[in-house]
């Protein structure tokens, strides 16, 4: 592909494109170490490095054109200055890979909690009814039935368009994180259906305020096709706000779900494993394969999406009821002594509340909670997370999550200060995560529940006393060790 069609519409003066020497472009990258002969290099200002510092290196390695934000002169190759290189990269990537989202049915999900479970549910329902689906999200990517390790919930625009160009599936189901949206990773894409699950306190270290966080999430809904639809949970106050904004604009169809009066898909009764819902024509019951009010909303959102594919309601219900769950999302494991172990990705106060409340609603005799806080992440949510844990659990064990560069001693001191100021006598600090899990499992007995939150499906980033690689592997190891003794 040539340079001119790639840079058309990226923010520079399109009328002057002809003044820029056209070049054959063999590849596009925003990483100087990946540059090869004939590449277009896009200089991105990141959190830890600035691509503009690597422009000369990129040119020396064979870049034949560069896109950047700064004023640069005396470069031996064409340089295209734009206001925002992240946004420009999204447009360039889409063009380079042949606008691959255009011939797909695109479903985008955003929200603080529930994206992953809802996306897995949608994929399951659609595939049970004859549709082939690609999946792009937190746990992994699935393209043409092949599972690919996920680096980010929403991959870079280059990776994203590359994946879509390889997909032969009819439908693409994509989680869109607030970081991904604010960094224009889906720039230039349009969606048939956009879903808003909820918005709760998270990522304020990045967005600085809930309003900014909301604006980032809401930006997805500007990408709905003219004949597309927004599906929104209006029992969430931010969802209600978004629905009202979109209805006032009157440009896209808005379909709402919730208990709230006027919901298009109304929840009439909500139990931990079942619900009765109705649309404008009939009422029906769903037996949920996953416990919890939060999973009820996930299932209803997935139901609303499936309806848009003209799938019969009884077939949607049947597919939901056959769903096997998601790795690391309220994942149950029956322990040696009859206790129930739950492993969940929950890392916000709201998600922890739903995990612990569901355990209690399911009849937990005693409830033990093992969790920690990620280093160099939003510290403002920690107090509320601890408050909920100390109120709902019979004993909580604070431990290490990913430290992300924070020294062990500093994180331990943070846990001690936090527990002293906002915890209670139920709490104990055991920094080693595998030792914390061992401690909790040694305390529990039949009909007790141990809820381990924060990591979910993820592998450990640190070496602990047990050489296990995840929370589930730790639990399985301790279970097998008991039976071998």
Query: Three-state SS across the chain?
Result: CEHHHHHCCCCCCHHHHHHCCCCECCEEECCHHHCCCCEEEECCECCCCEHHHHHHHHHHCCEEEEEECCCCCCCCCCEEECCCHHHHHHHHHHHHCCCCCCCCEEEEEECCCCHHHHHHHHHHHHHHCCCCEEEECCCEEEECCEEEECCCCCCCHHHHHHHHHHCCCCEEEEECCHHHHHCCCCCCCCEEEEEECCCCCCCHHHHCCHHHHHHHHHHHHHHEEEEEEEEEECCCHHHHHHHHHHHHHCCCEEEEEECCCCCCEEEEEECCCEEEEECCCCEEEEECCCCCHHHHHHHHHHHHHHHCCCCCHHHHHHHHHCCCCECCECEEEECCCCCEEEEECCCCHHHHHHHHHHHHHCCCCCEEEEEEECCCCCHHHHHHHHHHHHHHCCEEEEEECCCCCCCHHHHHHHHHHHHHHHCCCCEEECCCHHHHHHHHHHHCCCCCEEEEECCCCCCCCCCCCCCCCCHHHHHHHHHHHHHHC
Q: Is 183 annotated as a binding residue?
A: yes
Bridge partners, residue 274, by sequence: 287
The more confidently predicted of residues 327 and 13 is 327
Which of 12, 7, 53 lies closest to 33, judged by CA?
53
Q: Which class for 379: exposed (0-12), middle (13-18), buried (19 or more C-beta within 10 A)? A: middle
Q: Is 101 annotated as a binding residue?
A: no
Is the pLDDT confidence value at 351 over 80?
A: yes
Model pLDDT, residue 118: 97
Token pair, residue 439, equals: 């401690």
Q: Is 116 annotated as a binding residue?
A: yes
Model pLDDT, residue 90: 95
Model pLDDT, residue 270: 79
Q: Is 117 annotated as a binding residue?
A: yes
Q: How confident is the model at residue 9 (pLDDT cuts 50, 70, 90)?
A: confident
Model pLDDT, residue 204: 61
* pLDDT tens per residue, range 285-313: 999 888 888 899 999 999 999 999 999 99
Token pair, residue 257, equals: 């779900």
Is the pLDDT confidence value at 281 over 90?
A: no
Token pair, residue 245, equals: 């904004």
* pLDDT tens per residue, range 146-204: 999 988 888 999 999 999 999 999 999 999 998 899 999 999 999 999 999 999 866 66
Q: Is 312 annotated as a binding residue?
A: no
Model pLDDT, residue 271: 82
Is the pLDDT confidence value at 11 over 80?
A: no
Question: Rounded CA gap, 332 and 235, in Å?
Answer: 27
Question: Rounded CA gap, 187 and 210, in Å?
Answer: 23
Sheet holding 395-400, edge to edge: 331-334, 340-344, 449-453, 367-373, 395-400, 427-429
pLDDT > 70 in the chain, percent: 96
Model pLDDT, residue 473: 97
Is the pLDDT confidence value at 476 over 90?
A: yes
Bridge partners, residue 452, by sequence: 343, 370
Q: Is 434 annotated as a binding residue?
A: no
* pLDDT tens per residue, range 386-404: 999 999 999 999 999 999 9
Model pLDDT, residue 206: 64
For residue 110, CA distances in Å to 107, 125, 145, 197 come to 10, 19, 23, 6
Is the pLDDT confidence value at 17 over 80?
A: no
Q: Tell me the average pLDDT of the chain.
A: 92
* pLDDT tens per residue, range 407-441: 999 999 999 999 999 989 999 999 999 999 999 99
User: CB–CB of 463/403 below 8 Å?
Assistant: no
Place of tokens 């990226």: 10
Model pLDDT, residue 207: 63
- The alpha carbon of residue 379 and the mean position of all alpha carbons in its chain are separated, in whole angstroms, by 19
User: CB–CB of 176/138 below 8 Å?
Assistant: no
Count of beta carbons in the 10 Å neighbourhood of residue 244: 13
The CA-based diameter of the chain, rounded to the nearest angstrom, is 78
Model pLDDT, residue 18: 64
Token pair, residue 251, equals: 């440009």
Q: Is 274 annotated as a binding residue?
A: no
Q: Is 456 annotated as a binding residue?
A: no
For residue 85, CA distances in Å to 10, 71, 111, 281 come to 9, 13, 26, 49
Is the pLDDT confidence value at 321 over 90?
A: yes
For residue 231, CA distances in Å to 113, 172, 311 come to 15, 16, 17
Question: Rounded CA gap, 357 and 389, in Å?
Answer: 10
User: CB–CB of 200/350 below 8 Å?
Assistant: yes
Q: Is 111 annotated as a binding residue?
A: yes
Model pLDDT, residue 13: 59
Which of 171, 175, 201, 187 lies closest to 110, judged by CA?
175
Q: Is 113 annotated as a binding residue?
A: yes
Q: How confident is the model at residue 482 (pLDDT cuts 50, 70, 90)?
A: low
Token pair, residue 425, equals: 């006598």
Question: Rounded CA gap, 225 and 222, in Å?
Answer: 9
The pTM of this model reads 0.89
Spatial CB neighbours of 248, under 8 Å, sequence gap ≥ 6: none
Count of beta carbons in the 10 Å neighbourhood of residue 283: 10
Q: List the domains of the chain with CATH numbers.
A: 3-96 (3.40.1390.10), 105-321 (3.40.1190.10), 331-484 (3.90.190.20)
Token pair, residue 438, equals: 């061992």
């Amino acid at each position: 592909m040539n340079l001119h069609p790639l840079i058309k519409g990226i923010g520079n003066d399109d009328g002057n494109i002809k003044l820029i020497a056209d070049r054959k472009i063999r590849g596009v990258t925003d990483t100087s170490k990946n540059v090869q002969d004939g590449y277009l290099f896009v200089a991105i200002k990141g959190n830890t490095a600035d691509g503009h510092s690597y422009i000369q290196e990129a040119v020396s390695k064979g870049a034949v054109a560069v896109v950047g934000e700064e004023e640069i002169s005396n470069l031996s190759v064409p340089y295209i200055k734009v206001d925002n290189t992240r946004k420009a990269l999204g447009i360039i990537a889409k063009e380079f890979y042949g606008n691959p989202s255009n011939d797909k049915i695109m479903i985008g999900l955003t929200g603080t909690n529930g994206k992953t479970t809802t996306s897995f549910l949608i994929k399951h329902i659609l595939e049970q009814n004859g549709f082939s689906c690609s999946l792009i999200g937190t746990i992994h990517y699935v393209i043409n039935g092949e599972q690919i390790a996920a680096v980010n919930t929403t991959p870079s625009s280059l990776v994203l368009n590359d994946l879509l160009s390889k997909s032969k599936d009819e439908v693409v189901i994509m989680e869109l994180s607030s970081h991904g949206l604010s960094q224009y990773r889906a720039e230039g894409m349009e969606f048939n259906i956009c879903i808003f699950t909820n918005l709760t306190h998270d990522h304020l270290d990045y967005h600085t305020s809930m309003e900014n966080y909301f604006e980032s999430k809401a930006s997805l809904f500007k990408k709905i096709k003219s004949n597309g639809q927004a599906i929104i949970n209006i029992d969430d106050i931010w969802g209600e706000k978004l629905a009202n904004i979109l209805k006032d604009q009157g440009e896209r169809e808005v379909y709402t779900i919730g208990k709230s009066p006027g919901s298009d898909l109304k929840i009439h009764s909500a139990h931990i494993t079942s619900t009765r819902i109705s649309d404008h024509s009939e009422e029906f019951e769903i037996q949920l394969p996953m416990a919890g009010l939060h999973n009820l909303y996930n299932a209803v959102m997935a139901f609303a999406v499936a309806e848009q594919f003209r799938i019969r309601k009884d077939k949607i219900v049947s597919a939901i009821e056959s769903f096997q769950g998601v790795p690391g999302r309220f994942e149950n494991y029956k322990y040696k002594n009859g206790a129930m172990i739950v492993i969940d990705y929950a890392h916000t106060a709201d998600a922890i509340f739903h995990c612990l409340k569901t355990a209690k609603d399911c009849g937990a005799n005693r409830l033990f909670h093992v969790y920690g806080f990620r280093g160099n992440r939003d510290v403002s949510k920690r107090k509320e997370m601890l408050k909920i844990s100390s109120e709902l659990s019979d004993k909580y064990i604070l431990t290490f999550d990913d430290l992300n560069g924070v020294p062990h001693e500093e994180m331990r001191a943070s846990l001690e200060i936090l527990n002293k100021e906002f915890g209670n006598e139920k709490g104990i600090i055991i920094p080693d995560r595998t030792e914390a899990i061992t401690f909790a499992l040694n305390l529990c007995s039949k009909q007790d529940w141990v809820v381990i939150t924060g990591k979910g499906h993820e592998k450990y980033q640190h070496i602990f006393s047990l050489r296990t690689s995840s929370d589930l592997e730790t639990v399985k190891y301790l279970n097998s060790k008991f039976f071998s003794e």
